[in-house]
Structure 1
């Protein structure tokens, strides 16, 4: 298995941000990204919201860094680690505009992009940009197929759908990766699971408990076999419970997995037994220093035994 990390600082939802992140900025963000590369993590991830309505701002905050700008900034200071949008709400813009952004990112990073996409969930965000919120599922299905064409090898890609149609329009630079960057689909609803199976190169669950993953993974396999996709490469993901390597001296929450590196590795190996290929991990921390220390301990002692 591979292990990745959603970056701190770039989004401050109360669901996952630590208190210290509120006073952090680009310097800490860069420090964590470089630590992730140094300690063998497979990817760093950044998520997207364009604008947060007042009714949700207390819980979600209004701090959401733009993923293309953020990952481009970090690409310039890293060399190997992959760059994941987890997730980009690609239905908010025309696929050619999205392809231009992410193809450029893939070029600037030397071919390190993984494009993670999702349907989105904030109605006001869609309405402000003139996009039909209720039809966002079907919109995302078509957008994914349009992006496959627009991010492919052709300088003048062609696509015809119900909402988008383009031909004879050239875009360069082309992505470095061939035939195109991988495209992972996020979400855990039945529609999202089906979308990932039929349209994606991978699946990014939305924090599913371990006990429900085997059934959903089986569903993906069933759908891909039924449609003749079983032999094509597909990456199954998971998001682990919060982690703390060692015995914490402070309250890290009852859901947090703690203990020796060996115990944590044994727990994470259960994901591999389910058929998971990559696990996104998150560490409880009180400072950027504690976070990078946790990442070091994980990379040196847990990941080699778990993967």
Structure 2
């Protein structure tokens, strides 16, 4: 996303395998690996997905490992690997906990990723929620919001056009330090994740986009209205939404009561309601029992559902 106005609904996907929380992981993912990630990313590329996304956790404390698991691939390494085997699909960190790292380090990694991928990076950022990660890395968890605010400002400078970026703040201070390669994009789009009041405010005031954290449909209009009121100046902002789980066609197995399933026309009509709310991009997730079933669902979505969504422009 370049920051231009967006119309219509684009669609992206959080990759399987790379994060394996019990909240959403399918059983087949536990035995999957790099070849499966590549296959899914290539399927997204073929099916017209706007982006593939990768999460970020450095280390999971034992108290949370049962629910979250300890399988969390590094987003920079993963997205760089997938950049080399795809052609068009964009590469989203959803979300990078950038407060855990010095912004010059983050800028070096993601600028290189953008350079190597020919300008396909979308940098999604968030405050983080696991205190032990912050403690282990020597970062004050209680100050993560304020730290993220400053880190966004520092990243704007460090990912900008200047070879020698400059930032002077409370936590970080740098100048006269050159970094090349520069990003391929003139402005790397920065999407802010989270649905708390602070996260929504941060997205409105500092972001190029908003990545909600599981807001149900009935909550989205109020959140979007608040973002618009805070934004004020009518500057373009890409509004996102996480859809319900999907299954194209009539399932022969239990896909769960929340899953939208059935004919492509019915699914497209249901998803079109997000566009009517003011959403620009939807992140979809498909129920699946195997990698092949997932990639088949993605292909069906691109060929049979996406064409029926409100028309938009590529992210």
Q: What TM-score does the superposition give when structure 1 sets the normalisation length?
A: 0.98
Which residue number in structure 2 is paired with residue 158 of structure 1? 166
CA root-mean-square deviation: 0.5
Q: Give the CA deviation at 1:304.
A: 1.0
**Deviation string, structure 1 residues 248-298 (Cα, Å, up to 9, x no partner):** 000011111111000000000000000000000000000000000100110
**Deviation string, structure 1 residues 33-59 (Cα, Å, up to 9, x no partner):** 000000110000000000000000000
**Deviation string, structure 1 residues 145-166 (Cα, Å, up to 9, x no partner):** 1100000000001111111111
Which residue number in structure 1 is paired with residue 240 of structure 2? 237
Which residue number in structure 2 is paired with residue 214 of structure 1? 221
Are 1:279 and 2:248 an aligned pair?
no
Are 1:89 and 2:97 an aligned pair?
yes
Task: Say which of 198, 201, 206 aligns to 1:199.
Answer: 206
SS of the aligned residue for 2:86 comes to: coil
Q: Give the CA deviation at 1:26.
A: 0.2
Q: Which runs of 5+ in 2 are unaligned?
A: 1-8, 311-315
Work out the CA distance in 2 between the residues paired with 1:216 and 1:30: 35
Work out the CA distance in 1 between the residues paired with 2:286 and 2:217: 18
Work out the CA distance in 2 between the residues paired with 1:291 and 1:16: 14
**Deviation string, structure 1 residues 195-222 (Cα, Å, up to 9, x no partner):** 0000110000001000000000000000
Work out the CA distance in 2 between the residues paired with 1:145 and 1:18: 37
Q: Matches of residues 54-203 of structure 1 in structure 2 within 5 Å?
A: 54-178=62-186, 180-203=187-210
Work out the CA distance in 2 between the residues paired with 1:200 and 1:287: 36
Q: Give the CA deviation at 1:306.
A: 1.3
Work out the CA distance in 1 between the residues paired with 2:81 and 2:176: 32
Work out the CA distance in 2 between the residues paired with 1:136 and 1:265: 39
Are 1:260 and 2:263 an aligned pair?
yes
**Deviation string, structure 1 residues 104-137 (Cα, Å, up to 9, x no partner):** 0000000000000000000000000000001100
Work out the CA distance in 2 between the residues paired with 1:220 and 1:165: 30
Work out the CA distance in 1 between the residues paired with 2:249 and 2:191: 32
Which residue number in structure 1 is paired with residue 273 of structure 2? 270
Q: Which consecutive aligned stretches of 4+ in structure 1 deviate over 3 angstroms post-superposition? A: none
Q: Which runs of 5+ in 1 are unaligned?
A: none
Work out the CA distance in 2 between the residues paired with 1:249 and 1:12: 25
Q: What TM-score does the superposition give when structure 2 sets the normalisation length?
A: 0.95
SS of the aligned residue for 2:22 comes to: coil
Work out the CA distance in 2 between the residues paired with 1:233 and 1:254: 36
Which residue number in structure 2 is paired with residue 298 of structure 1? 301
The higher-RCO structure (CA 8 Å, 6+ apart) is 2
SS of the aligned residue for 2:141 comes to: coil
Which residue number in structure 2 is paired with residue 288 of structure 1? 291
Work out the CA distance in 2 between the residues paired with 1:17 and 1:298: 20
Matched length: 302
